[in-house]
Chain A
Amino acid sequence: MDLNSGSNILIKNGLIVDPKNNINETLDLLIKDGIISEVGKNIESDGAEVINAEGKVVAPGLIDLHVHFREPGYEYKEDIATGSMAAARGGVTTVVCMPNTNPVVDNPAMVKYVTERGKEVGLTNVLTTACITKGQKSKEISEIGELKDAGAVGISDDGRPVLTPSLMRRALEYAKMFDIPVMSHSEDLDLVDGGSMNEGYMSTYLGLRGIPKCAESVAISRDVLIAEEVGGRLHVCHVSTKNSIDAIRRAKERGARITCETAPHYFSLTDKAVEGFNTNAKMNPPLRDDEDVAAVIEGLADGTIDAIATDHAPHDSDEKEIEFSLAANGIVGLETSLGLGYTNLVRTGKLTLPELIKKMSVNPAEIINIDRGSLGVGKIADIVIFDTENEYTVDINEFASKNNNCPYDGMKLYGRVDYTILCGEVVYKR
C-alpha cells in the first residue's frame, strides 16, 4: 500500500459530493496539513501530490455507527487493526464500536483502551459506545457521565436489549443530562422464543424456528414511546421491519428526538438468502421479506431512517459452519457497504448520491455529535474517492477483515473505493 503521510494533496476534477455544504459538482479539492484548505475550480497543485479523480466521486469519509471490532476478548474474530484495515478499504473514516467485547466496555478505562488502540493503528477514527447497563446485565445503569467524559459517543447494550421498560426509561432520562444518544438494540426476547430466522414462508419451508417481526416492532415501539415521553435521545439500531419503521416515523412526526439506522443487508437481501441453511445469511435482526425491504428503502427515502450502518460482525468459521440455529449472528460489512448502498439505492433511483452520502456520513456525524462528515474549508480531511462507473465483483478473499462471513461473495456492485483519506493521509489506495 502506498501510504502518503503529512504531505499536501490536491484532488483534481472529481465530482465533489458534499451534502453538508450543498455541493454536487466537478471541482478540485486541496488538503493542507490534514485540513481541507480549498474547494474550487482549477486549483494549482503548488507542490501538492495530485490525485486525478476525473470520473470519480469525492465525498466525506463514511461514518459507520455500528461495528464490532471484537477487541479485547475476541481477537480471533477481529481486532482493532484488522477492523480498521477493513474500514479503510471500505471508505469508512470513522467507526463506532459496540461494547460487547470481553470484558465489556462499561468503564472509562475500557473506553480509553479502544480509542487509544484505534489511534495507534491509525487507519480509521475509532470511536466507541459504552454499555447502557453495567456488564450489559440489564440491572443497573452504568456511569454514563464518566463514560462520556472518557470519550464514549453513545451508550448501547448492543447484542442484547435493555430488558425492562423501567430501566430503559431511567437510562434515557439519565443519559439526557449528558446529551449522549442511547443506541438501542430493541428486541423482545420473549417473542423471539428461540427463533433463528425471520418467521415467514422460508422458515416454514426450512423447518427453522421463526422470529416474528413483532419481536422487533414491539420492542422498538416500547423504546420510542418511552423516549418520546422522557425526551431522551434514542437512536434505534438496525431497524428491519415495516412496522418498526412506521413506529419511528409516527414518533418523529410528533416531534420526538429519535434517530435510527438500518444496515445494507436489510435493503439488499431477503430471507430467501437463508435457503440451503446458509449461516452467512444469519444475523439479528434476521433478514426479512420483500415487503420489509421495500419499507426500509421507503424509510431511507422519506428520511425516517437517518443512517446506514453496517453492523460489521466478524465471526470465526467454527462459529458459522455449524448447525444453523447454533451459528453466530452477523456478517462482515465494512468492505461492501458503499457498493451495496450505491448499487441498490442510487443506481435504482431510490436515493440520490448526495442523499446516500448523508445517510453514510453527514447524519451519522450529527447523531454522535462529531465535527466530521463535511468537505467544508477548515474541516478535517476525511475523504473517500470512489468509482461509480465500473462494475466490480465482490471477492471475500480480498477482505482485510479477519473473517469472511459474508453473503455477498461474487456479487456484482458499483461504487468501489479508490482512495480513503484520513486526516489528510492516504490510508487506502486501490
Chain B
Amino acid sequence: MGKFTERVNFFIASVVRIIPTSCLNRLTRSETHDMTDSSTSLLNVERLGKSFRGLQALEAYDLSLRQGELLGVIGPNGAGKTTLFNLLTGVTPATTGVIRFAGVDISGRRPDEIARLGVARTFQKVRLFPALTALENLRIPLQMHESAALWQVVLRTSHFLRSEATLTQNARDLLALVDLADAAHKPAAQLSYGQQRRLELACALALQPRLLLLDEPAAGMNPTEADALMHLILRLHREFNLTTILIEHNMRLIMNMCSRIQVLNYGRLIAEGAPDEIRRNPLVVEAYLGQVENHGAG
C-alpha cells in the first residue's frame, strides 16, 4: 500500500519536476497548430475497412476524435482493435476508407511518415531494440527531430555534436519521466517486463506525438504497476492535452479513464458512448458473455 502511493507520487513528482525544463515542453507542439482549427477534429476516420483474404477484420469504421480526447476501444479477442491501430499507423494498407489526421489525408502513407506527422503508438507485444540500451532505444525516435547531414556526421561538426548532446539530454529526461533513469545503460533485453513497457511508452512520447495510440499498455502488469501506468497516462493526457486512443482489456482501467468508449466485435463497431452507457448496452454484454436469451431460456 505504502509502496504504491510512493510510486504514484514519484511519477507525479517526476512529471512536475521535468515539465518546465525539458523536451516535454515540446510535447505540446501541436497546441499552437490546433488552436487555429480546434473546431474540426484531430483525427477523422470514414468508412475504414480491411479484409484479409475474405476475412473482414474491420468494416465501415467511423471515428471523429477531438483534440485532447481520451478514447477507449474495447472488444473481445480478434475484434479488430489492433487492426485498427495498424491501419491508423500505416503498417497495413486499408482496403477501403479515408483517414484524415490534422486535416491531412494519411491513408496510404508510410508508417514512418505518419509517425513523423505525430502519430505514435505502442505495441500489444512490447517492441524494443533488444541489443540497444534504454538510452539508445530512446534516441531512435528522438533523433527524427535532430537533423544532421552526412558530411556533418563524418566531420563531427559542432552543430552535430550539439544536436547529439541535446538528444542525450532529452532521452535522459524521458527516462526519468518513466522512472527508468537508473536503467539508462542497460540493454533493453535485460529490463523487467514492466520496465520494458514503460520504455516503450517513453519511446512513443519521444516522437512528441499529437495522437498517442496505446495497445493494451497494462497487459501483463500487476495491479500496482497498472495503476501507476494509468496515473501516468492520465497525467500526460491532462497536462499536455494529449489526444489518446487506448485499447485495453482491463475494464476497471478503461471505465475509469475514458469519457468515451467504442466497442468492436467481429470488425464492426457495435456500440459507442460514455462508460455507463457501454456497461448497460445489451449488445456489449452479448459480445462479451454470449447471448443472454439462450441462457435465460434454458
Asked if A and B bind, the verdict is: no
Residues of A in contact with B (beta carbons under 8 Å apart): none
